[in-house]
Amino acid sequence: MAKTIYSVESVTMGHPDKLCDLISDSVLDACLAVDKNARVACETMATKGKVIVAGEITVSKMPNIKEIVENTMRFVGYDPSTVEIEVLVHEQSPDIAQGVDNPAQADAYELGAGDQGVLYGYATAETAERLPLPCVLAHRITRLLTDARKSGRIKGLRPDGKAQVSVVYEDSRPVRVDAVVVSTQHDEEKSMEELTRDVRDVILKEAFCDFTMDETTRVFINPSGRFVLGGYEADTGLTGRKLMVDTYGGFISHGGGAFSGKDATKVDRSGAYLARYIAKNLVDAGLAERCLVSLCYAIGVARPVEITVDTYGTGKYDDEVLKQAVLKVFDCRPAAIRDSLDLCRPIYTSTTNSGHFGKEELPWEQSDAVDKLREAAEAAQ
């Protein structure tokens, strides 16, 4: 019986990298709220005493980015008066814009991709969220830490924090929790004894309600000890540094492109969302237990250079048959993706934390193509 241990990390919204992701996505949403055709590639850096927002933004009316930074910091739990905010933005390069906005063909869906990129989408039947179990558990812990801090359910927590969950798999199925690591920033006066008790009784008890730890599970709470100084004051944050937290925890390959701060003409984001949408529908259609979909794009070219489907031997049909079904059901051109998933709306701050996948309200999490996929797969075999 093949046995493997998979470990996955998640971070709270107060982690400095996630603060930067949320600022970038907040700027994006503010632009889309006034101009659905806005072109945004917004990067943020936060360090002790300073927050810098930079990038390329083309929009009919530029939002007040300094105000967005201040409001986002307050929402997360930081005091914006402690930092100097610097904004360095300019319009999108005309060389990039010409490939995206001025296709040679009359068909609007022949608008080119905003960049080259290889994007991956994954789904597995092992959880209701169609995500690997360690991803689900790690995100639960960090989400509960933030909720407990904001609600006051646990006193003395501060915004920064992270979690890591290791799960034992036998023959590709999760069987037990091997280890849990939780590190959370806290007030100076909060003792380690109280913190450990609160995290165990409030956070871990709820996080593992449906897949419990056993007596041999190793639990580490603030294993380095004191964690009072945190956030951007202790560790510089940057947009786009939590690629595995945002996706599938390292279970599959990653093309290297980040999500936050980018509008949907950037296939780094929209292509990854479509790939997840396809993979999830293949699993929900009963056509595979696990599925990896990859899309490869060239800048200024609408149609993917390559599409692959890998069901790891769990497919109801051969992978090539499923690929043909995918090609029949889904239009993978960037403009078509934006229309079919309605991606020109200000929805992106809801994606920033706890992963970009597994949230049932998001358009790429809908299982509305299962019937078409079943029909197309049957016809293609």
pLDDT band at 315 (very low <50, low <70, confident <90, very high): very high
Residue 104 is predicted with a pLDDT of 46
* pLDDT at residue 346 is higher than 60: yes
Q: What is the percentage of the chain residues whose pLDDT exceeds 90? A: 88
* pLDDT at residue 331 is higher than 50: yes
User: What residues contact 32, with CB distance under 8 A and at least 6 apart?
Assistant: 38, 40, 263, 344, 345, 346, 348
Mean pLDDT across the chain, nearest whole number?
94
pTM of the complete model: 0.94
pLDDT band at 2 (very low <50, low <70, confident <90, very high): confident
* pLDDT at residue 322 is higher than 80: yes
Structure confidence by residue, pLDDT tens digits, 43-84: 999 999 999 999 999 999 999 999 999 999 999 999 999 999
The stretch 182-205 carries a mean pLDDT of 97
Sheet of strand 117-124, all strands in order from the earlier edge strand to the far edge: 117-124, 290-297, 306-310
What is the separation of C-alpha 94 from the centre of its chain, rounded to a whole number of angstroms? 29
Residue 42 is predicted with a pLDDT of 98
Assign domain 3-12+132-230 one CATH number from 3.30.300.10, 3.40.50.1820, 3.40.50.2000, 1.10.3720.10.
3.30.300.10
User: What residues contact 132, with CB distance under 8 A and at least 6 apart?
Assistant: 6, 8, 124, 126, 248, 249, 251
In DSSP terms, which residues pair with 186 in a beta bridge?
A: 157
Structure confidence by residue, pLDDT tens digits, 214-272: 999 999 999 988 899 999 999 999 999 999 999 999 999 999 999 999 999 899 999 99
pLDDT band at 123 (very low <50, low <70, confident <90, very high): very high
* pLDDT at residue 102 is higher than 80: no
Residue 302 is predicted with a pLDDT of 83
Residue 301 is predicted with a pLDDT of 82
* pLDDT at residue 112 is higher than 70: no
* pLDDT at residue 177 is higher than 50: yes
Q: Are strands 84-90 and 50-58 parallel, antiparallel or unpaired?
A: parallel
**Backbone CA torsion sign across 22, 26, 28, 32:** positive
Q: Does residue 364 sit in helix, strand or coil? A: helix
Tokens 């690997």 belong to 132
* pLDDT at residue 190 is higher than 50: yes
User: Which ranges of 152-266 would DSSP assign to H, the alpha helix?
Assistant: 192-198, 205-207, 243-246
pLDDT band at 107 (very low <50, low <70, confident <90, very high): low
Q: What is the percentage of the chain residues whose pLDDT exceeds 70? A: 94
**Backbone CA torsion sign across 132, 135, 138, 139:** negative
